Amino acid sequence: MQQAASFQVIQGQLKGARQVPSPNFNQRPQQTEIQLVVIHNISLPPSQFGGGYIEQFFQNRLDWSAHPYFQTIEGMQVSAHLLILRSGEVLQCVNFNDRAWHAGRSSYLAKPECNDYSIGIELEGSDDLPFEAIQYQVLAEVVSALQQAYPKIQRHLAGHSDIAPGRKTDPGPYFDWSRFRSLLRDCNSRIEAASSSIHNETCA
């Protein structure tokens, strides 16, 4: 199990994540501040886990003939900044400074084009199955690290279904927001406690 504070953002890269670069990204518009985290779920084929297909999909190297479902998404070029597998392993596909292609047509608090100003996190999961406990724990640790690096996202966490209602349903009914928010509060208070004890030592 991953330890708290094992993640850190350095120059748009998440230390503690396996780097799996995706070609599917472009520049964020100039002077755009990161101010939103969007949570998704994905599984390939739907509701099946493992196999490495999501990673291959985000890297444009999925064999479309490997499963009938893959033909329905053939040629799609998408990505997310992060993918959290069922095991809790974190993969980074796009640098946070770049614009990943996860949200599609979307808007948050009346501001359109969420890809411009958000970080997209995919959980390996589906709308009809519970997520793993380790995924909640790791998600909280990762979002806590992101909030340290990008303070504007402290108040702005959304699901894909919130920013693209009627079009998207993920992260779905099984995603337990209160469980996630409570774990996130725990992570953030551990960081605050650690930083105030460092402060006290330096000031003693």
Catalytic residues: 122
Q: Using CB under 5 A as the criterion, what x/- string covers residues 31-70 for binding Zn ion?
A: ---------x------------------------------
When the beta carbons of 56 and 169 are compared against Zn ion, the nearer one is 169
Number of residues that bind Zn ion (CB under 5 A): 3
When the beta carbons of 37 and 187 are compared against Zn ion, the nearer one is 37
Site for Zn ion in 156-175 (CB under 5 A): 160, 170
Shortest distance, position 100 Cβ to Zn ion, whole Å: 11
Which tokens go with 175?
């995603």
Q: Which of 132, 183, 134 is nearest to 157 (CA)?
A: 183
When the beta carbons of 141 and 170 are compared against Zn ion, the nearer one is 170
Rg of the chain, C-alpha, whole Å: 17
Shortest distance, position 41 Cβ to Zn ion, whole Å: 7
Shortest distance, position 120 Cβ to Zn ion, whole Å: 8
Q: Which of 126, 131, 127, 118 is nearest to 180 (CA)?
A: 131
Give the three-class secondary structure for 86: coil
Q: Which of 96, 110, 79, 122 is nearest to 28 (CA)?
A: 96
Q: Which of 28, 51, 54, 50 is nearest to 121 (CA)?
A: 54
Q: For binding to Zn ion (CB under 5 A), which residues are involved? A: 40, 160, 170
